[in-house]
């Protein structure tokens, strides 16, 4: 189903669209009230600036959806798949997300007042630390493994009550204190950090300043590195398979024995890649991306 058909049938009074396939459809700015989209396929849909109110999204597939500046208030998202979604200045107020999968999601400045987050999965997500502190009573049974937290005050985060074992603390200016009181397995990342030999597979590292970091011998397979600054980073022996790359530039980045077959990389980076040392250049295959594939990756 396309946008026009959905809105035409909705305008005619139809509200039951359960199980419908809208994957990849541009629904930017739509206003839908009381619609039934349970078990619908909304993967990779653009819902930027949309209003979806008092609607049924139970077990809907919203993986990779763009929810920037979107209101999904008073909706039932029980068991919904929100894996890899992007939400900036969005609202889920009064919604039920019980059992929802928010792994690898990226959330910035979102409203969650009155929301139910019971048994949600936030593994390898990328969220503001204020969110963890503000909504800590929602997260006591949530495991934030490999979740990136933008941290200003580590004491505030360490004592928030959430399960932070194996979380990732990020601060673009580095940390003033030591990691002595951090929960087990916490990784601190910042420009110039030594992150060699670590497993970041599937992590959402999008938009981070990682200039000069040492990622040699690390696993970044399937990680989100869109708009991540890796200038002067050490990527020797690093696994970058299935990783989507989009940087301002790759100046000074060290590639040697780096596993990067079938990489997605922008056309204006091709000349830069040719300047790098690749032990086996046959492993580098360039897959060009259309502008549409990066539509929602330029905000903040």
Helices (H), 72-225: 129-134, 154-158
219 close to 201: Cβ distance less than 8 angstroms: yes
3-state secondary structure string across 259-272: ECCCEECCHHHHHH
78 close to 59: Cβ distance less than 8 angstroms: yes
- Report angle CA 118, 124, 125 to the nearest 5 degrees: 65
Buried b (16+ CB within 10 A) or exposed e, 151-180: beebeebbebebebebbbbbbeeebeeeee
C-alpha dihedral over 155, 157, 162, 168, to 10 degrees? -120
In-domain check, residue 149:
no
Which residues fall within 8 angstroms of residue 280, CB to CB, at 6 or more apart? 257
Domain range for 292 is: 191-300
In-domain check, residue 294:
yes
In-domain check, residue 266:
yes
How does DSSP classify residue 24? Answer: T
In-domain check, residue 168:
no
Query: Of 30, 25, 28, which Cα lies nearest the Cα of 10?
Result: 30
Q: Is residue 239 classed as helix, strand or coil in its secondary structure?
A: strand
158 close to 182: Cβ distance less than 8 angstroms: yes
46 φ/ψ angles, rounded to the nearest 5 degrees: -95, 105
Residues of the chain by 3-state class (helix, strand, coil), percent to 5: 15, 20, 65
In-domain check, residue 82:
no
255 close to 276: Cβ distance less than 8 angstroms: yes
Digit-coded pLDDT (tens) for 194-250: 999 999 998 888 889 999 999 999 999 988 888 889 999 999 999 988 886 665 567
Counting as low any pLDDT under 70, the low residues of the chain are 129-143, 244-249, 261-300
Write down the pLDDT at residue 141.
59
Domain CATH code at residue 290:
2.160.20
Query: Residue 251: CA atoms inside 13 Å, Cβ hemisphere, count?
Result: 3
CA 156 to chain centre: 23
Buried b (16+ CB within 10 A) or exposed e, 211-221: bbbbbbbbbbb
Query: Of 189, 190, 102, 108, which Cα lies nearest the Cα of 143?
Result: 102
In-domain check, residue 184:
no
In-domain check, residue 299:
yes
Q: What is the pTM of this model?
A: 0.66
112 φ/ψ angles, rounded to the nearest 5 degrees: -130, 20
Q: For the chain, where are the E strands, in sequence order?
A: 31-33, 51-53, 86-88, 106-108, 126-128, 148-150, 168-170, 187-189, 224-226, 244-246, 263-264, 286-287
In-domain check, residue 119:
no
Write down the pLDDT at residue 197.
96
How many structural domains does the chain have?
1
Task: Please report the sign of the dihedral spanned by the C-alpha atoms of residue 178, residue 184, residue 185, residue 187.
Answer: negative
């Amino acid at each position: 189903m396309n946008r026009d058909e959905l809105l035409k049938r909705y305008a005619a009074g139809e509200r039951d669209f359960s199980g419908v396939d809208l994957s990849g459809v541009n629904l930017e700015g739509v206003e839908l009230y009381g619609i039934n989209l349970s078990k619908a396929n909304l993967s990779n849909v653009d819902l930027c600036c949309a209003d979806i109110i008092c609607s049924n999204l139970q077990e809907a597939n919203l993986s990779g959806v763009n929810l920037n500046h979107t209101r999904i208030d008073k909706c039932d998202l029980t068991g919904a798949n929100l894996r890899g979604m992007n939400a900036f200045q969005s609202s889920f107020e009064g919604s039920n997300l019980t059992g929802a999968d928010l792994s690898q999601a990226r959330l910035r400045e979102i409203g969650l007042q009155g929301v139910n987050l019971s048994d949600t999965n936030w593994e390898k997500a990328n969220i503001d630390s204020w969110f963890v502190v503000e909504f800590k009573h929602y997260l006591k049974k949530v495991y934030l493994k490999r979740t990136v937290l933008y941290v200003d005050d580590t004491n505030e985060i360490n004592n928030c009550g959430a399960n932070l074992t194996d979380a990732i603390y990020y601060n673009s200016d580095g940390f003033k204190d030591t990691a002595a009181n951090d929960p087990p397995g916490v990784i601190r990342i910042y420009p110039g950090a030594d992150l060699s030999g670590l497993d970041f597979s599937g992590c959402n590292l999008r938009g981070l300043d990682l200039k000069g970091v040492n990622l040699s011998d690390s696993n970044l397979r399937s990680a989100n590195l869109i708009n991540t600054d890796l200038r002067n980073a050490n990527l020797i022996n690093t696994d970058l398979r299935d990783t989507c790359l989009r940087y301002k530039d790759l100046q000074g980045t060290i590639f040697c024995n780096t596993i990067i077959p079938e990489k997605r990389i922008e056309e204006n980076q091709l000349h830069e890649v040719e300047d790098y040392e690749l032990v086996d250049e046959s492993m580098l295959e360039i897959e060009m991306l259309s502008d549409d594939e990066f539509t929602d990756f330029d905000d903040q």
